[in-house]
Structure 1
Amino acid sequence: MKNIMFAAAAALVVSILFTPYLIRLFSRQGFGQEIREEGPQGHASKRGTPTMGGVAIIVAMWVGYLTAHLIGGLTSEDSQPPTASGLLVLFLTTGLGIVGFLDDFIKIRRQRNLGLNKTAKMVGQLVVAVTFAILALQFKNDRGLAPASVNLSFVRDISLISFGTIGFIVVCYVIVSGWSNAVNFTDGLDGLAGGAAAMVLGSYVVISFWQFRYDCANPNPQLGCYDVRDPLDLALVAAAAMGACIGFLWWNAAPAKIFMGDTGSLALGGLVAGLSMLTRTELLMIVIAGLFMVEMMSVVLQIGVFRTTRRRLFRMAPFHHHFELAGWAETTVIIRFWLLSAICCGFGLVLFYSEWLAAVGGA
């Protein structure tokens, strides 16, 4: 438990202190955000705000994770070195962050709100996701348990639904692409995506630590135990990322001094996807990260309805812009959407705990 606190605290401090440096650096370099011309008029004043702040989140997350392991190794004889599961999630997060960084950099250089084209971005996500999927089925422990499973999962593996190796690689790409785009769509208001991501990651600190406490690898496994390869290390990753998001939010909250850009949103989407697969909670993540899912579905529905009827379902998609155009103040939309995210996280944790109670009671 102490290592989890070290990871979150170290990442929080690094994020708070490193972000102002990035603000000054990116401002000097002219790395300012381009704004959609068809977007809400109130956003025009944000043009030129430094972007690519996701670099701070990624750096702080790595520092928090490694610091926890370093301090744990110095203070505890039982401390474990970095695991395959933790490093794989960090790889997925960083890899998608690099794709996002390229996207942001091209936007800045071309002075328009269009970076990588759809094909290039898809290829980048594909390479990172497929590499992650292949590696996640390797590194089996002494119980033959790999970081990821080829079965679909809710709170545990659903053994009746197995994809096989090739099928899992395809599903992994769909999950990674879906969540990275979902967080990217949500990142349209100051602090909205960062605050919601911090709540989701906080939920996964609880989930991963609970899985560690009731790990089937324990000498005397208890009823309702979990077959997750490295739950404690995943809790460290989630805690470090949560601390990084909170620290970044200090500067990203309205009025934002810096935006995370695609560098941050794609990275956090990859983190969400990786945690869901390696903790065996892919379907539960849909509930916990419900705000991201709603934002993505609003875009899908808007496109589908417009192409079918030539009418718009919402004033503008993603969903948060609909309320802005309806007259809500930006901070009102942000706070209410944070509340929706908190409700989703709370409901997801209740479902997680209820499943454990049912497993214990039915065993």
Structure 2
Amino acid sequence: MISILIAASIGLLVSILLTPYLIRVFSRQGFGQEIREEGPQGHRSKRGTPTMGGVAILIALVAGYFVAHVIDWMRGSPNGPTASGLIVLFLAVGLGIVGFLDDFIKIRKQRNLGLNKTAKLVGQLVVAVTFAVLVLQFPDANGLTPASQHLSYVRDLALIFLPLPVFIVFCYVVISGWSNAVNFTDGLDGLAGGASAMVMSTYVVISFWQARLSCQETPQAACYVVRDPLDLAVVAAAAAGACVGFLWWNAAPAKIFMGDTGSLALGGLVAGLSVTTRTELLAIVIGGLFMVEMLSVVAQIAVFRTTRRRLFRMAPFHHHFELAGWAETTVIIRFWLLAAICCMFGLGLFYSEQLAAAGA
């Protein structure tokens, strides 16, 4: 528990102290955000706001994780970084690098489009396939690997086994889906950062719960077969702290944007944690706001291509309400409330499944 608190505290401190430094550096270098011409008119004033603030989130995440382990080691704890924690960190950093390249090209070419679709697809594909291969390696003393080839809700669904090629494709779809979902959500000041902090905090609770209910101390039906759940809680705590620290500067009116550097990395964290905690299906509920934002884009494109009409005034979904006359801060706060409801509902489902399993 102490390592979780340390990771969250270090993530918060590094992020909240590093971000203003990045604001000054990026402002001097002219690393300003380009705004979509067809976007809401109120967003034109945001042009030139420093972007790539996701760098602070990534540095704070990595610092929080490793400082927590260093302090644990100094306290005499035998536990160190685990395969599960390091692989999830790899996924976040790898996607963050793809996002950084995307942001950097936008800035250099002064346009709202960075990497072309093929380059971005290849970047996400390389990181996702590498993650999918690594996450099935490194068995512990009990032969348990960081991930399972079974599809999972809270525990593995025994009837649905994914052969290795299918599992790799599945991981790519999950990683690409979540990274793009968070990326679509990152359109208003603090919206993605606040929602991500809630999702990461939810995974702290879930992972800690899984660690407490190990199969050595719990009846088989009610235990969680997850490798390194406590270390995954440390990763999630560092990420939650990093998001809150960044949100201090990213809240409306934002002094810096996270850019694709941050949104792709945070989406990767959601995907990585869902796979390693065996909650791929439950994550759809926990990250419900991100799912709605992504589906709004898909629905908008599908309806427009088939009927030549727009389902929403503008996609992603949050822009629809802006164009309907809602103030930006109103949209942000109400969407934060939706994110909180999704997280609480996801925790409720997790707990109710545990009660059902214990009763069985």
TM-score by length of 2: 0.99
1:144 CA displacement: 1.1
1:305 CA displacement: 0.2
Aligned to 1:70: 70
Secondary structure of the residue aligned to 1:112 is coil
Instruction: Work out whether residues 190 and 253 of structure 1, in 8 Å CA contact, stay in contact via their aligned partners in 2.
Output: yes
Stretches of structure 2 lacking an aligned partner (at least 5 in a row):
none
| Residue identity in the other structure for 1:355 | E
Secondary structure of the residue aligned to 2:187 is coil
Aligned to 1:314: 312
Aligned to 1:24: 24
| Residue identity in the other structure for 2:2 | K
Secondary structure of the residue aligned to 1:158 is strand
Aligned to 1:107: 106
| Within-5 A mapping of 1:80-119 | 80-119=79-118
| Residue identity in the other structure for 2:303 | V
Aligned to 2:209: 210
The answer to whether residue 144 in structure 2 is matched with residue 153 in structure 1 is no
| Residue identity in the other structure for 2:218 | P
| Residue identity in the other structure for 1:191 | G
Deviations 1:302-342 (A, max 9, x none): 00000000000000000000000000000000000000000
The answer to whether residue 254 in structure 2 is matched with residue 256 in structure 1 is yes
Aligned to 2:334: 336
Instruction: Work out whether residues 182 and 296 of structure 1, in 8 Å CA contact, stay in contact via their aligned partners in 2.
Output: yes
Aligned to 1:180: 179
Deviations 1:247-291 (A, max 9, x none): 000000000000000000000000000000000000000000000
1:73 CA displacement: 1.1
| Within-5 A mapping of 1:4-43 | 4-43=4-43
User: What is the Cα-based RMSD across aligned positions, in Å?
Assistant: 0.7
Deviations 1:158-197 (A, max 9, x none): 1101111111001000000000000000000000000000
Secondary structure of the residue aligned to 2:158 is strand
Instruction: Work out whether residues 211 and 231 of structure 1, in 8 Å CA contact, stay in contact via their aligned partners in 2.
Output: yes
Secondary structure of the residue aligned to 1:282 is coil
**Aligned partners of 1:355, 1:82: CA distance in 2, in Å?**
30
**Aligned partners of 1:35, 1:138: CA distance in 2, in Å?**
43
1:143 CA displacement: 1.1
Aligned to 1:189: 188
Aligned to 1:237: 235
Aligned to 2:57: 57
| Residue identity in the other structure for 1:225 | C
**Aligned partners of 1:215, 1:198: CA distance in 2, in Å?**
26
1:221 CA displacement: 3.5
1:103 CA displacement: 0.2
**Aligned partners of 2:252, 2:219: CA distance in 1, in Å?**
46
Q: 203, 213, 218: which is aligned to 1:221?
A: 218
| Residue identity in the other structure for 1:262 | D
Q: 292, 295, 312: which is aligned to 1:294?
A: 292
| Residue identity in the other structure for 1:241 | A
Mean CA deviation greater in 127-136 or 160-169: 160-169
| Residue identity in the other structure for 1:83 | T
Instruction: Work out whether residues 53 and 263 of structure 1, in 8 Å CA contact, stay in contact via their aligned partners in 2.
Output: yes
| Residue identity in the other structure for 1:100 | G
**Aligned partners of 2:348, 2:22: CA distance in 1, in Å?**
39
Secondary structure of the residue aligned to 1:160 is strand
Instruction: Work out whether residues 214 and 222 of structure 1, in 8 Å CA contact, stay in contact via their aligned partners in 2.
Output: no
**Aligned partners of 1:10, 1:265: CA distance in 2, in Å?**
21
**Aligned partners of 1:24, 1:215: CA distance in 2, in Å?**
47
TM-score by length of 1: 0.98
**Aligned partners of 1:195, 1:308: CA distance in 2, in Å?**
35
Runs of 4+ in 1 over 6 A off after TM superposition: none
Secondary structure of the residue aligned to 2:206 is helix
**Aligned partners of 1:90, 1:159: CA distance in 2, in Å?**
28
Identity %, equivalent residues? 77
**Aligned partners of 1:215, 1:94: CA distance in 2, in Å?**
29
**Aligned partners of 1:164, 1:144: CA distance in 2, in Å?**
18
Stretches of structure 1 lacking an aligned partner (at least 5 in a row):
none
**Aligned partners of 2:162, 2:309: CA distance in 1, in Å?**
38
| Residue identity in the other structure for 1:221 | T
Secondary structure of the residue aligned to 2:281 is helix
**Aligned partners of 2:313, 2:158: CA distance in 1, in Å?**
43
| Residue identity in the other structure for 2:296 | S
